[in-house]
Structure 1
Amino acid sequence: MSHVAHASHPAIVKRLSRAGGHLRSVIEMIESEQPCVDIAQQLQAVENAVASAKRALINDHIDHCLVHAEEGEGPREAIEQFRAISKYL
C-alpha cells in the first residue's frame, strides 16, 4: 500500500506535543514533590491526550487508507489493513 498524505496529521502532532509538555510538567511535579493527587490528575490529562491522538489517527486511517486500499488494491487489502489497525483499538 502506498503512503497517502493525511490532513489530520498536523492536528495529531499538536495534540501529542501538548501531551509531551504535560508529561514534562508531571516529571517536574514529581521532582519538586508536589501532591500525588495533583500529579495523578496531570497524568490522567496526558493519558487522555495520547488516547485522543490515537483515536484520531486510527479513525483517519479507516476513513482514508482503507478507502484507498479498497479502490486501488482491492477489498482483500482493505480487510488486511483493518485487521492490522484494529489491534490498536
Structure 2
Amino acid sequence: MFYLMRGPFFISGHLVECNTMKCVKCGKDNKKNELYCKFCGENLLATEQPLTLAFMLKSLFVIYTLIFLSYMLYLALEEPFQTFVNNLATK
C-alpha cells in the first residue's frame, strides 16, 4: 500500500513540501504525479491493499467496545442522573 504525503508540513520549525509517494514493493519515494515506480516499475495507483479480515475484525472490535463502554456508562449514570433531575423538578 502506498501513502501520499501532502504538504506543506512544519518539521523542526522549517516549512517542508512533501509531494512524494512511497512504493509498496521497493519502499522508495516517487513523485506523486508518477504512475509507475521509477525503481521497480510497480503501478503506484493499483497497489492499494484490499481490506483484510484482521483489519475488519479489529474495526468491529473497536466499534463493539465503544458501544459496550457507552452502555456501561449509561447504566452507571442512569440512577444519579434521574435523582438529579427529580431533585430539580421538585424544587
TM-score normalised by length of structure 2: 0.35
More helix by share: 1
TM-score normalised by length of structure 1: 0.36
Q: Using CA pairs under 8 Å that are at least 6 residues apart, name the structure with larger relative contact order, 1 or 2.
A: 1
Which structure has the larger Rg over C-alpha atoms?
2
